[in-house]
Amino acid sequence: MNIEMELLPLLELGLYNGWILFLILIVAEGLMFLLFPREVVSRLTDFDRSKWSRTQRISFATGKTFSLICIILIALTPLKLGTVGFGLGVVIFTIGLTGLAASVITFRRTPSDRPATTGPYRFSRHPQQVSLFTILTGISIAIGSWAAFLVLLISRILNSAGDRAEEKACLDYYGESYREYMEQVPRYLLIRGRIKKSNG
């Protein structure tokens, strides 16, 4: 199976560019948020960053910058229509989109006084981030761009600072039940990333 990938494909405005798949993601997220109660959307999107360290803030902000660059590359790169890479990319994209939907639905069904630990949360503490990474990886393959994928990878590494801060906040809020969950479930799929017990 030959998957055609280029370091940096020709960037151009076009009707059949990667933005089509990205738009599907935005519409899907918008519909989910539109149908969810405001309280659930708030829990999904509002983050208290008052306790973040300076390093976490810088890393997260830099990661978001790389995320924006990735989106621009996706929007300006034509889809590799009719190729194996396009087909594979769409399959991976669909898997990621399904995982994202399952993750937010599970989050919605979980009472606010308990951490989400069922559904996709049995395999990852951050299934939404795993799903988004999968979605954007699929788009990168569908447009045949190593540049988009490498920028995506850098952004995910940098944005993990936000995931670690979120875990610390969950640990403070949920206590021992979340610590036990952390011991059993990896941060993403293979990386556990445990938080050490504080002495205070």
Each residue of 105-157: pLDDT tens digit? 999 898 888 889 999 999 999 999 999 999 999 999 999 999 999 999 999 99
174 inside domain? yes
Task: Return d(Cα 78, Cα 14) in angstroms, integer.
Answer: 7
User: Which domain range does residue 131 map to?
Assistant: 73-191
Task: Return d(Cα 108, Cα 119) in angstroms, integer.
Answer: 12
Closest CA to 24 of 94, 81, 82, 115: 94
108 inside domain? yes
Structurally, the chain folds into a number of domains equal to 1
Tokens (6 digits) for 140: 């990168």
Q: How many CB atoms lie within 10 A of CB 110?
A: 17
What is the mean predicted confidence (pLDDT) over 26-52? 83
124 inside domain? yes
Kindly compute the dihedral angle of the four CA atoms of residues 88, 91, 97, 99, in this order, to the nearest 10 degrees. Answer: -110
